[in-house]
Amino acid sequence: MSPTTPVVAIYPGSFDPITRGHEDIARRTLRVADEVIIAVAHSPSTDKRNLFTPDERVQLINEVFADDDRVRAESFGGLLVDFARDRQAIFVIRGLRAISDFEYELQMAQMNHELWPEIETLFLVPEVDYSFLSSSLVREVASLGGDVSRFVSPPVLAALKEKFDG
Ligand code: PNS
């Protein structure tokens, strides 16, 4: 890698939808990487269970980060390490909110490293205000008519309203 090669980090997840907690992690990533690709995972089995389609999730993320060309979203199928290798990423970023996240995250990091030893997983800790936040809670609260405007950015709020209010 030459000294001018940009450092690319992949931040993978479901992002159904992206929350302010995810946004915080993506912005923190820019302290260690030049570019962040927010990678929306999709597969035939998970797509059926999701509220937003992969394309909708990608579009929402790109709207949220429209003011920062260092962050962009893409969807991927198949193995994360293959996508990361293809994009010449050297880091996989995951947010750690609580100790309960740790076991699953450790297993994934170790498996990804087995599959492609060139990749390093970095765990970043979100702002404490977001430590309880998850996409599934946002979906549930929004579906029951609760106010989620503190937890998601305006484009996501509008998209949730559209899904639930029609
Ligand atoms: O937000 P999530 O649902 O916790 O994200 C999980 C995700 C998408 C990062 C993980 O399931 C993943 O990497 N899927 C892609 C398929 C893959 O590479 N599986 C092996 C991971 S060890």
Q: Which backbone phi and psi does 7 adopt, to 5 degrees?
A: -85, 120
Q: Could you tell me if 57 and 17 are in contact, meaning their C-beta atoms sit under 8 angstroms apart?
A: yes
Strand order, beta sheet including 120-124: 71-76, 35-41, 8-13, 91-95, 120-124
Instruction: Please tell me the distance between residue 77's alpha carbon and the centre of ligand 1 in angstroms.
Output: 10
Q: Which of 64, 113, 140 is nearest to 105 (CA)?
A: 113
pLDDT at 3 (0 to 100): 65
Domain boundaries, the chain: 8-134
Q: Is the domain covering 8-134 a CATH 3.40.50.620 domain?
A: yes
pLDDT at 4 (0 to 100): 81
- CA dist 15 → 6, 22, 97 (Å): 25, 8, 15
pLDDT at 45 (0 to 100): 84
pLDDT at 166 (0 to 100): 75
**pTM of the complete model:** 0.96
Q: Which residues are catalytic?
A: 22, 48, 97, 135
Per-residue pLDDT of the chain (166 residues; tens, 9 = 90+): 566 899 999 999 999 999 999 999 999 999 999 999 999 999 888 888 899 999 999 999 999 999 999 999 999 999 999 999 999 999 999 999 988 889 999 999 999 999 999 999 999 999 999 999 999 999 999 999 999 999 999 999 999 999 998 7
Q: Which of 18, 47, 79 to mutate to test the pocket of ligand 1 (most atoms within 8 A of CB)?
A: 79
